[in-house]
Amino acid sequence: MSIIYGPTYTSLEQIRARMDAILSELRISREEFEERMAEYTLNRREAGFRDEFETLQWCEELFLDDLEEESRDGLA
């Protein structure tokens, strides 16, 4: 079990809004930020948001997987 400190997001919209806020603050597109993370070419300011952004991406994937699973269950 782990303890997570910080804000709690309860919807996909909240997660995406925070991701957009990070990208807006950095004045960078999502694609460019992801590319720079993959290539390890982030500056200090961008690197400060890396962990949070990766966690938000993970949460976004979980929400999307759950939505996909619910839609499949609804069709079955």
CA distance 40 to 7: 26
pTM for the full predicted model = 0.81
Cβ pair 19, 53 in contact under 8 A: yes
Q: Please give the angle made by the CA atoms of 10, 6 and 43, to the nearest 5 degrees.
A: 110
Report the distance separating Cα 50 and Cα 71, nearest Å.
31
User: Token digits for 63?
Assistant: 């929400």
pLDDT-above-70 percentage for the chain: 92
pLDDT tens digits for range 8-27: 888 999 999 999 999 999 99
